[in-house]
C-alpha cells in the first residue's frame, strides 16, 4: 500500500463524511493524525441528531456500507484498497481488518507461530474449491481432520478440530458451493 499524504487523507475523510448517508443529520468531527507510522483519521459523531433529536444507530450492514464507500473513494483517488476476505490466486494469503490479527496471521503464515484459525481457513478454502456440493465439502473437511456441523436453519457452519480445546472451534459463514 502506498502512503497517503496527510492533506489528501484529510480531504478523503471530508468526502467520506459528506457522502456517508449514516451521518446525515448528525454532527461529525474528524481529525487526521500524523503522529504514528501510518496516517489515520478519527471520527467522532454526536449521537443525537441536530435535525430531529433521534439517537445515532449503526448496524453491521452500515459498517459494511461504510467500508464499501471508503473503498470507492480510495479507488476514485487512485489509492489501492484491501480485499477483505479474498485470497490471492497464487498463494494462501489471509487478510484481516484488525491489525493485530493480521500480524498474528502473518507470523503464522511464516511458520513463526501456530494458528488453528489460519489452518482452518486454508482447509475450508481448499475444500470449497474442491467441492461441488455440501456433502463433498463436509467429506473434504472430514478428511482434513475437521468435524463439520452444518445445519440448514443455522446462520453459520461450525468447524471443530477433533480432540481440540473448547477454544479451538471456528465458526464461518456458509461457503458458496
Q: pLDDT digits over 62-83, tens only?
A: 998 999 999 999 889 888 887 6
- Select the more confidently predicted residue: 102 or 140: 140
Confidence (pLDDT) at 174: 54
Angle between helices 60-76 and 6-19 in degrees, nearest 10 = 130
Question: Rounded to whole angstroms, how far apart are CA atoms 2 and 41?
Answer: 16
- Is the predicted pLDDT of residue 88 greater than 60, yes or no? no
User: Of 10-24, 118-132, 145-159, which one has max mean pLDDT?
Assistant: 10-24
Supply the pTM of this predicted model: 0.50
Confidence (pLDDT) at 94: 53
**Is the separation of the CB atoms in 120 and 105 below 8 Å?**
no
In angstroms, what CA-CA distances link 7 with 4, 18, 91, 153? 8, 17, 35, 49
Mean residue pLDDT across the chain: 81
Amino acid at each position: 500500500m502506498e502512503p497517503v499524504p496527510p492533506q489528501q487523507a484529510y480531504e478523503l475523510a471530508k468526502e467520506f463524511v459528506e457522502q456517508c448517508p449514516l451521518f446525515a443529520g448528525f454532527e461529525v468531527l474528524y481529525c487526521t493524525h500524523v503522529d504514528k507510522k501510518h496516517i489515520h483519521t478519527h471520527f467522532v459523531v454526536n449521537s443525537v441528531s441536530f435535525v430531529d433529536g433521534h439517537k445515532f444507530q449503526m448496524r453491521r450492514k452500515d459498517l459494511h456500507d461504510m467500508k464499501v464507500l471508503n473503498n470507492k473513494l480510495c479507488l476514485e483517488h487512485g489509492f489501492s484498497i484491501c480485499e477483505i476476505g479474498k485470497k490471492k490466486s497464487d498463494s494462501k494469503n489471509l487478510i484481516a481488518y484488525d491489525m493485530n490479527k493480521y500480524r498474528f496471521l502473518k507470523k503464522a503464515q511464516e511458520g513463526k507461530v501456530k494458528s488453528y484459525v489460519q489452518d482452518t481457513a486454508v482447509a475450508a478454502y481448499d475444500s470449497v474449491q474442491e467441492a461441488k456440493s455440501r456433502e463433498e465439502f463436509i467429506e473434504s473437511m472430514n478428511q482434513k481432520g475437521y468435524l463439520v456441523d452444518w445445519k440448514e436453519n443455522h446462520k453459520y457452519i461450525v468447524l471443530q478440530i477433533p480432540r481440540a480445546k473448547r477454544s479451538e472451534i471456528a465458526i464461518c459463514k456458509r461457503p458458496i458451493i
